[in-house]
Structure 1
């Protein structure tokens, strides 16, 4: 488990975030790209590829309220997230 394959990207948005629209956009991308819905569960001690149904593989949009002072540490922590 590491952040080796993470591609951190920061985008500054202005104005009010339409959380529903952002969540729908993320779900739309996941529906179109199976690799974003693919997991590798272990079965009989061996990993196997499993492409999740679009409803199950929908990414969760997590919104974190912050300020300019806390932002760099939050971005660094997100970029270093290790996938299981």
Structure 2
């Protein structure tokens, strides 16, 4: 299991039946507390002017390594030469 940290792109590994299983979130903060560790997340592609935030248990999340890599690459190098 990959340790969740600030700045990663994540999704719920078992979303509710009325949620989009492909919805991505960005981790804004991570709060370490053993079995009760939590993450403050915000939707990655929201149509809202100011998207909301959610505080959820980190055990309910999985890291999307590909999207996280692309986000980190974009932030470091800009949008040029992305693959």
TM-score by length of 2: 0.25
Higher strand share: 2
More relative contact order, 1 or 2 (CA 8 Å, 6+ apart): 1
The higher radius of gyration belongs to: 1
TM-score by length of 1: 0.25
